[in-house]
Amino acid sequence: MKGQGADGPALIREAREDDLSHLAAMIDTLSAHHGATTTVGTRALMRDLLGPQPWAFARVAERDGKTAGYAISYPLYFAQWGERGMHLHHLYIDPLHRGLGLGTQLTLAMIDLARALGCTYVSVTAEPDNVNAQRFYEGLGMRTSPVTGLRFAMDI
């Protein structure tokens, strides 16, 4: 998927092994923005995105041969309805490349991937005070879908 930016066209494509160090750095940046630290490295990304049993899907935005942003999604399933879905877990655009439509292109690429995999829905979350993200997703035709209940977790 190609789109025109100020300095040339953007290419949206599947992540490759040579993207992994850039992805890890951008994940660190996004996590720091949200006040979190990361432990992900290229080894985990290789296993989870490109390994024999991929756990998630990644697309990158490339401009002028450089990684300008990324999106990572993972599968969801509603057993009670037999519906496959996809959760857009991360969407990040390098600040130097913002405002060029790359976030839209990456999101649409993930929606296309979800369709190709037989999904009937795509979900994404936004921080309650991140009005810009909320407007962005609504502008793409997404609707709010409040989460109910609590999530429990256990380290294993």
pLDDT, tens digit (0-9, with 9 covering 90-100), for 92-126? 999 999 999 999 999 999 999 999 999 999 999 99
Residues listed for the chain: 156
Query: What 3-state DSSP class applies to 48?
Result: helix
Q: What pLDDT is recorded for position 8?
A: 60
Fold of 2-139: Aminopeptidase (3.40.630)
| CB proximity list for 11: less than 8 A, separation 6 or greater | 1, 2, 61, 62, 63
| CB proximity list for 133: less than 8 A, separation 6 or greater | 126, 127
Q: In the chain, where are the structural domains located?
A: 2-139
Is 5's pLDDT higher than 90? no
Mean pLDDT in residue range 63-76: 95
Is 74's pLDDT higher than 60? yes
Between 151 and 63, name the one with better pLDDT.
Answer: 63
pLDDT tens profile 127-151: 889 999 999 999 999 999 877 788 8
First vs last C-alpha separation in the chain: 39
Q: Taking all residues of the chain, what is their mean pLDDT, rounded to a whole number?
A: 91
C-beta separation of 100 from 108 below 8 A: no
